[in-house]
Amino acid sequence: MDEVSNIVKNKKICVIGLGYIGLPTASLLGTKGFSVHGVDVSQHVVDTINEGKIHIVEPDLDIMVKSAVNAGNLKAGIEPVESDVFIIAVPTPFKGDHEPDLSYVESATEMISPYIKPGNLVILESTSPVGTTDEVVARILKENGHDTEKEVCVAHCPERVLPGRILVELVENDRIVGGINPLSTEKAVEFYNSFVRGEVLSTDSRTAEMAKLTENSSRDVGIAFANELSLICDEEGINVWELISLANRHPRVNILNPGPGVGGHCIAVDPWFIVARSPQQAKLIKTARLVNDSKPGWVIQKVKTKAERFKKPVIGCLGLAFKADVDDLRESPAVDIVRQLIKENVGDILISEPNLSSHDEFELLPYEEVIRRADIILLLVDHKEYKTIKTLELNEKILIDTRGVLQ
Ligand code: SAJ
């Protein structure tokens, strides 16, 4: 690895998109001695980073950004600069009827195109439908006059980091690297080997794209199974948490946890990229998405049924984030549930989210106050703070625990 590091050290890296993947990647590379230029469309994001500060919450990211900026190895701007390696880390959401929206990938590719020279390596890290690296990124570069057969290498290396553990996983996780041709694969593998401690596995770009979608679909299908079990157990009067912990004592069974639905910008999105291209074949993957997407509606119905017992019910909602111990509300089922309860005027809604100090839309209260004042306690996220709540404190209150924290 040292030999490879020497080859790529001092190279210039341009990272497009300074969000949850781009910023940690840019700052990590900066602290490894690369000269990194980060690009973001938001002037606020650019200014924040150039001050050595961060605009997202992720453990230790502030320290890493500060150290890369202070060392002079990380600068941000709204335009790219000439570099040796270009990393595209922009969002790939879906639009309309769950069709992939590749407009950010397209505009990022157009944006870097004037700065690309022979010998450069372009890497797409954004999670993408099969074919994107070749049919979108390489195609646009070719249309702009670049020779992607021999002179400019293009590869996909999907990010696989878990929010909350991004900086650890960026270095420790194995990476899958797939080029649009063998030379591109070789160059991209060499690059990742210079800063990744995990194994760098090589394949072609289409398999790399499908591998990432497969990982997240596999988790989505697993969670859908757990969520379906929770509905069955509710009908049967069985505690699903006890059931799963018993079933998981089998040496070859490992059931995931039910919850109020699947959130975040990855697992609730990526399986649709497979369904969009293979609608006839991807039956199980699509059904899992529908099962998980229907869970918030089921939780809302549960709350409404319990609320009927009260004249003016006070409903205490614990948690807004899409999962435990993060401040990220993107695609959060908890937010959808709270919003709907307010919209339908189901009762007085009190909300706690210990990872946020305030929120534009919701008034946030300390969770102790929410518990004290509520008739119905709706636990939506398994934040560590809530795990310290003693069930005795809940007295006669009605508990709807979607995460099995207070069982
Ligand atoms: N969830 C459950 N039950 C579980 C596990 C998760 O309901 O047993 C819910 C969570 O509460 C959350 C959602 O699923 O709402 C997703 O959370 P997560 O922790 O499973 O995953 P993400 O979205 O934070 O990160 C995933 C990771 N993928 C896999 O574990 C296969 C991560 O490695 C990827 O890099 C990331 O997606 C991504 O960016 O694609």
Q: Would you call 119 exposed, middle or buried from its count of C-beta atoms within 10 A (0-12, 13-18, 19+)? A: exposed
How many CB atoms neighbour CB 198 within 10 A?
14
Single out the residue of 212, 211, 205 nearest to residue 182, CA to CA: 205
Is-catalytic flag, 212? yes
Residue 363 Cα distances to 207, 347, 358, angstroms: 46, 15, 7
**Ligand 1 probe mutation, 23, 174, 266, most atoms within 8 A of CB:** 266
What one-letter code names the amino acid at 96?
A: G
Q: Is the CB of 127 under 6 A from ligand 1?
A: yes
Active site residue 95: no
Q: What is the pLDDT of residue 8?
A: 52
Index of the ligand 1 atom closest to the CA of residue 164: 24
Report the nearest atom of ligand 1 relative to the CA of 212: 40
Calculate how far, in angstroms, residue 330's C-alpha sits from the geometric centre of ligand 1: 12
Pocket test for ligand 1, best of 212, 219, 298, 336 (most atoms within 8 A of CB): 219
Helix (H, G, I), strand (E, B) or coil at 62: helix
pLDDT at 1 over 50: no
User: Among 5-19, 171-185, 205-219, 272-286, which is the least confidently predicted range?
Assistant: 5-19
Domain annotation for the chain: domains and CATH numbers: 2-207 (3.40.50.720), 260-401 (3.40.50.720)
Residues 137-157 pLDDT 10s = 999 999 999 999 999 999 999
Q: What is the pTM of this model?
A: 0.93
What is d(CA 192, CA 5) in angstroms, rounded to the nearest whole number?
10
Judge whether 346 and 364 are in contact, CB under 8 Å. no
Q: pLDDT at position 270, please? A: 96
- How does DSSP classify residue 136? I
pLDDT, position 4:
41
- Report whether pLDDT(375) > 80: yes
Query: DSSP state, 364?
Result: B
266 lines ligand 1 (CB under 6 A): yes
Tens of pLDDT, residue by residue over 177-236, are: 999 999 999 999 999 999 999 999 999 999 999 999 999 999 999 999 999 999 999 999
- Summarize pLDDT for 300-338 with one digit per residue, the tens: 999 999 999 999 999 999 999 999 998 889 899 999 999
Q: How many CA atoms lie within 13 A of 252 on its CB side?
A: 0
16 ligand 1 Cβ < 6 A: no
Q: Which of 212, 286, 295, 323 is catalytic?
A: 212
- Res. 26: pLDDT tops 70: yes
User: Could you give the count of Cα atoms lying within 13 Å of 249 in the half-sphere of its Cβ?
Assistant: 5
